[in-house]
Structure formats: structure tokens, C-alpha cells
Amino acid sequence: MDQISKVANVEGLSARDILDAFDIWLSERVGEARAAGMDLAFHDSEFDIAPGREPPLVGWRHMLLAPGACPPSGHDWTVYRLQDQGSAANSAKGSLDHDGLRLALEALGYGAYLSSAQTG
């Protein structure tokens, strides 16, 4: 296991150092996105270590997205939806009537199960 962690972390940084740096970095990015009224997308990148910078370690890249927008392809993006996603998200809240539930289950690919439940 030590060999795997040394290959993945050639700088020899402790997990605590990495998590502390990520906490600072992510908190700043979330604040930036909220202040701009945007969503946040980020992905891992190579470690950039600069003593004196806060945080001294950065291993992530980010971009701000318009609410509901998708990040570009090419990276394994994590997207934080920080803003109201519009009327579609608001109308989806609450209870569904029988027809609404049936339509939602069909859209998710459970239509065949609904048919067999009605006949059986």
C-alpha cells in the first residue's frame, strides 16, 4: 500500500495536508461562485506547491458555470449546483399524482415493470 500512495503522491504529502488544502481551496471557490451567482465545477490536476501562498498546495482546477449549465467534456468534473436551477427544478418539488409518478417512472426506464404490475 505504501508503494501505491508514493506513486500517486510523489511529493510525499500527508493526507492531512492535502485535505486541509482542499478545504481552504474549495471554501474559497464556493464563496466565489455564490458571490457571482454561478454554479461551480472542478476537477483534479497535478499538485502545484507554492510556499507562502494560501493554500500553499493546489491540486484542482475550476470554472464557474451559469446555473444549470454543463462543464465541457474532457475531465471528470464535479459540479456543485449552488444556485436556483430555475422553474423546472421548482416545479419538480412536491408530491406527484398517479399520472405524474407513472410518467416519471417510465422516463427512468421502469415502464415495463409498471405494465407487468398492472397485469399481474
> Is residue 24 located within the same domain as residue 35?
yes
> Is residue 100 located within the same domain as residue 55?
no
How many residues are listed for the chain in this entry? 120
Q: How confident is residue 19, by pLDDT bands cut at 50, 70 and 90?
A: confident
This prediction has a pTM of: 0.59
The cell for 66 is: 451559469
Q: How confident is residue 106, by pLDDT bands cut at 50, 70 and 90?
A: confident
- Please give the pLDDT value at position 87: 47
Q: Which domain holds residue 44?
A: 2-83
Residue 8 has pLDDT above 70, yes or no: no
Please count the structural domains in the chain: 2
Q: In the predicted model, what is the mean pLDDT of residues 85-90?
A: 54
Residue 56 has pLDDT above 60, yes or no: yes
Q: In the predicted model, what is the mean pLDDT of residues 84-98?
A: 56
> Is residue 21 located within the same domain as residue 47?
yes
Q: In the predicted model, what is the mean pLDDT of residues 111-118?
A: 65
Rounded CA separation 49/11 (Å): 9
> Is residue 63 located within the same domain as residue 115?
no
> Is residue 61 located within the same domain as residue 90?
no
> Is residue 97 located within the same domain as residue 73?
no
8-state DSSP, 73? S
Residues 6 or more apart whose CB falls under 8 angstroms from that of 33 comprise 39, 40, 64, 80, 82
